[in-house]
Amino acid sequence: MKITLKLARVGMSMQEATIAQWFKQPGESFEAGEPLYAIETDKVTQDVEASAPGTLLEIFVEEGTDVEVGTPLCVVDVAI
């Protein structure tokens, strides 16, 4: 099932974050619990993990880009 992942709010005051690093590239598969990307806010750097196994299909946001909460980041194909 194809899913578009969006930047989720990590803290109550978080309005935006920087995409610090992508751990996977399009075409690469991942397991549940494996980090997909890292975000950096003014308070913390945090890895965002996959909730299910799947494959990264497309990245919309380059590393180093500031994005607002709710911005589409990538498309994944997950096994549900």
Q: Report the 10 Å Cβ neighbour count for 33.
A: 10
**Is residue 32's pLDDT more than 90?**
yes
Q: Which of 75, 62, 68, 49 is nearest to 19 (CA)?
A: 62
Task: Judge contact between 57 and 73, C-beta under 8 A.
Answer: no
Task: Enumerate domains of the chain plus CATH numbers.
Answer: 2-78 (2.40.50.100)
- Over the stretch 6-15, which tens digit does the pLDDT of each residue have? 998 877 778 9
Tens digit of each residue's pLDDT (9 = 90 or more) over 43-80: 889 999 999 999 999 999 999 999 999 999 999 999 87
Q: Are 62 and 19 in contact (CB under 8 A)?
A: yes
At residue 42, φ and ψ (nearest 5 deg) are: -70, -10
* Amino acid symbol at 40: E
Q: Is the pTM of this model over 0.85?
A: yes
